[in-house]
């Protein structure tokens, strides 16, 4: 029985800083990472160039797109941001039929932009077991053709191939140790798992504790779904203790893989998140809950906590989604998974470095004697982050930064941190002095002491 439904449509801050610094020096070859899904099923989205600016400002290093749109590939060139690109379900047939189709696509659509655009994954098909027509049999033949094309181009080790799955691919996900794949999908799964094991590629899954909670609120508490539970759920067969739904869902996949003797395959979470708005009956789709879920998720993941079945294991996770997508069908929540509105205003402030306090409302409450706050540049932010934020504030952020130009009143002291502080505070005061207006991807901090 699939107890928890999947998504069907579609004290030492300095020490923490040092650890974050070290992990960025060590690079992307080790350590868990957090990325974001950049879906484009919306009207009035910013141009890909503007999106790249926004992504850099948030200090996001990994982005998943759902196709291989040339404008998007070009926009991400020379940014160092790692891109996961996709072959949509509607294109599976030609890719599965002829090797030459995969070769041509690679030659015309990918190689001209690679390696300036750092493509690291290709997803072949998305949630095919949920697709209305039976297309899953096309996936693995298409994957092999893409693999052969990459091999011929000398890229089979640089770009990994996989396919994303819905959690509904399991027939059982609770307790996690009973995790099992639905045997109806065996014809698809067996060759898929063989491909993944052979090519050392991850098993990709989209996990949505939101749906588990929404569809079964009596069995799943909101706190458990939001990583806020103070109690634990024990898996009786293994004795493993679970403090959140996310770990439980990821481990169900690990156990399902183990049951088929594919224990060497790693799991990657290609979508997870929480909607900020829903239909009348979706009362827990709120900006606060979305902020709490994603903030806790980021902290959980970048800490390399792993899951109870794989403690300390690296786990790469993509948050769904960068923008609200108004063209998606279905319930109101479907269109409200974004961290940003298409006009680039943030729906809630998310710190992709995992450093911000979880409970923003508590922080807002703590007002000083006369209630005046300033926003300045954090002394812990890197120069690159500060420069990116400064560029954004003085550009798209509409702040007049002429006062910090040479020979102007606020040029001295001539340091990046003081110029950034001037710009951040101006932006903050112009934008309602809300906590969100002092985010800057973690490089802004509020202070109650007048910095000038
Ligand atoms: C889908 O297609 C595969 C292979 O063609 C077949 O084995 C399987 O039974 C089909 N599944 C359904 C639900 O029709
Ligand atoms: C397994 O998959 C089949 C075909 O999609 C579906 O009809 C069936 O309900 C699934 N079984 C479970 C237990 O989810
Ligand atoms: C809650 O769990 C029980 C036992 O596992 C199950 O019988 C019941 O259907 C679940 N309730 C919902 C709403 O899923
Ligand atoms: C997994 O391996 C064990 C031991 O080699 C074997 O007994 C079992 O049948 C295998 N299971 C599957 C699903 O292949
Ligand atoms: C991060 O890891 C440390 C040490 O393993 C642990 O004590 C701490 O609670 C973890 N933080 C989070 C948010 O999981
Ligand atoms: C926060 O503000 C609210 C409303 O002004 C007030 O009722 C509450 O007591 C405050 N909480 C703290 C901890 O100051
Ligand atoms: C109170 O506000 C004024 C400006 O409105 C500021 O100059 C002063 O430093 C503030 N006092 C404190 C204690 O923050």
Is residue 34 classed as helix, strand or coil in its secondary structure? Answer: strand
* The pLDDT of residue 436 is above 90: no
Q: State the ligand closest to the CA atom of 448.
A: 7
DSSP secondary structure letter of residue 144: H
- Model confidence at 438, pLDDT cuts 50, 70, 90, reads confident
Among residues 53, 82, 130, 271, which one is catalytic? 271
Cis status, amide bond into 115, omega within 30 of 0: yes
* The pLDDT of residue 265 is above 80: yes
Distance between CA atoms of residues 326 and 323, nearest Å? 9
Q: How far is the CA of 301 from the centre of ligand 5 (A)?
A: 10
Q: 211, 212, 215, 216: which to mutate for ligand 3, most atoms within 8 A of CB?
A: 216
**Choice between 127 and 376, residue whose per-residue pLDDT is larger:** 127
* The pLDDT of residue 396 is above 50: yes
Cα–Cα distances in Å, from 424 out to 33, 380, 391, 446? 27, 15, 11, 10
Q: How far is the CA of 182 from the centre of ligand 2 (A)?
A: 6
pLDDT of residue 23: 37
Q: 303, 306, 353, 354: which to mutate for ligand 5, most atoms within 8 A of CB?
A: 303
- Model confidence at 330, pLDDT cuts 50, 70, 90, reads very high
| pTM reported for the whole predicted model | 0.75
* 336 contacts 277 by C-beta, under 8 angstroms: yes
* The pLDDT of residue 38 is above 90: yes
Q: What is the mean pLDDT of the chain?
A: 88
Is residue 404 classed as helix, strand or coil in its secondary structure? Answer: helix
**Ligand 7 proximity of 452 Cβ (cutoff 6 Å):** no
* The pLDDT of residue 312 is above 70: yes
What percent of the chain is modeled with pLDDT above 70? 90
What mean pLDDT do residues 61-68 have? 97
Find the residues whose C-beta lies inside 6 A of ligand 3.
216, 218-219
Distance between CA atoms of residues 208 and 8, nearest Å? 10
pLDDT of residue 30: 56
Element (H, E) at 249: helix 245-259
Find the residues whose C-beta lies inside 6 A of ligand 1.
134, 137, 187
pLDDT of residue 61: 95
Distance between CA atoms of residues 151 and 145, nearest Å? 10
Active site residue 127: yes
pLDDT of residue 31: 86
* The pLDDT of residue 24 is above 80: no
- Model confidence at 362, pLDDT cuts 50, 70, 90, reads very low
- Give CA 120 to chain center in angstroms: 15
**Ligand 4 proximity of 379 Cβ (cutoff 6 Å):** no
* The pLDDT of residue 6 is above 90: no
* The pLDDT of residue 44 is above 80: yes
- Domain borders along the chain are 13-335, 367-447
* 122 contacts 64 by C-beta, under 8 angstroms: no
What mean pLDDT do residues 402-425 have? 87
Q: Which ranges of 106-155 would DSSP assign to H, the alpha helix?
A: 136-152
Q: Which CATH superfamily is domain 13-335 in?
A: Glycosidases (3.20.20.80)
**Choice between 428 and 108, residue whose per-residue pLDDT is larger:** 108
Q: Which ranges of 133-221 would DSSP assign to H, the alpha helix?
A: 136-152, 186-199, 209-215
Is residue 49 classed as helix, strand or coil in its secondary structure? Answer: helix
* The pLDDT of residue 389 is above 80: yes
Is residue 311 classed as helix, strand or coil in its secondary structure? Answer: strand
What mean pLDDT do residues 297-325 have? 95
- Model confidence at 355, pLDDT cuts 50, 70, 90, reads low
Q: Determine which of 49-63, 197-211, 228-242, 353-367 has the lowest per-residue pLDDT on average.
A: 353-367
Q: Which of 40-54, 376-390, 400-414 has the highest mean pLDDT?
A: 40-54
* The pLDDT of residue 340 is above 60: yes
């Amino acid at each position: 029985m699939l107890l928890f439904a999947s998504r069907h449509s579609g004290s030492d801050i300095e020490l923490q800083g040092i650890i974050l610094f070290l992990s960025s020096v060590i690079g992307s070859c080790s350590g868990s990472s957090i990325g974001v899904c950049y879906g484009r099923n919306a009207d009035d989205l910013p141009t890909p160039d503007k999106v790249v600016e926004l992504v850099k400002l948030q200090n996001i290093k990994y982005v998943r797109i759902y196709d291989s749109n040339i404008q998007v590939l070009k926009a991400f060139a020379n940014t160092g941001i790692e891109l996961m690109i996709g072959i949509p379900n509607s294109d599976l047939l030609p890719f599965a039929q002829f090797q030459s189709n995969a070769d041509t696509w690679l030659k015309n659509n990918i190689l001209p932009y690679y390696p300036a655009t750092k493509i690291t994954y290709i997803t072949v098909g998305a949630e095919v077991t949920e697709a209305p027509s039976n297309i899953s049999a096309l996936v693995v033949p298409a994957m092999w053709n893409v693999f052969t094309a990459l091999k011929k181009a000398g890229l089979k080790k640089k770009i990994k191939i996989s396919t994303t799955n819905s959690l509904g691919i399991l027939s059982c996900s609770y307790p996690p140790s009973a995790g099992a794949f639905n045997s109806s999908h065996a014809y698809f799964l067996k060759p898929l798992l063989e491909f993944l094991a052979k090519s050392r590629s991850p098993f990709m899954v989209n996990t949505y504790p939101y749906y588990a909670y929404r569809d079964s609120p009596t069995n799943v508490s909101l706190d458990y779904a939001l990583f806020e539970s103070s109690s634990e759920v024990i898996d009786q067969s293994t004795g493993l203790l679970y403090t959140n739904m996310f770990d439980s869902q990821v481990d169900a996949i690990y156990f399902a893989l183990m049951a088929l003797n594919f224990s060497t395959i790693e799991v990657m979470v290609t979508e997870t998140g929480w909607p900020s708005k829903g239909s009348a009956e979706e009362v827990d789709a709120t900006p606060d809950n979305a902020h709490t879920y994603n903030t806790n998720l980021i902290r959980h993941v970048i800490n390399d906590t792993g899951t109870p079945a794989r403690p300390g294991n690296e786990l790469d996770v993509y948050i769904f989604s960068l923008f609200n997508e108004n063209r998606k069908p279905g319930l109101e929540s479907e269109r409200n998974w974004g961290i940003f509105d298409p006009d680039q205003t943030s729906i809630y402030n998310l710190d992709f470095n995992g450093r911000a306090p979880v409970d923003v409302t508590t922080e807002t409450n703590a007002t000083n004697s006369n209630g005046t706050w300033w926003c300045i540049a954090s002394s812990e932010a890197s120069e690159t982050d500060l420069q990116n934020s400064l560029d954004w504030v003085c550009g798209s952020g509409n702040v007049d930064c002429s006062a910090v130009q040479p020979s102007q009143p606020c040029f001295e002291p001539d340091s990046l941190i003081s110029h950034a502080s001037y710009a951040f505070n101006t932006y903050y005061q112009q934008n309602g002095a809300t906590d969100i207006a002092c985010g800057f991807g973690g490089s802004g901090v509020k202070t109650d002491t007048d910095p000038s």
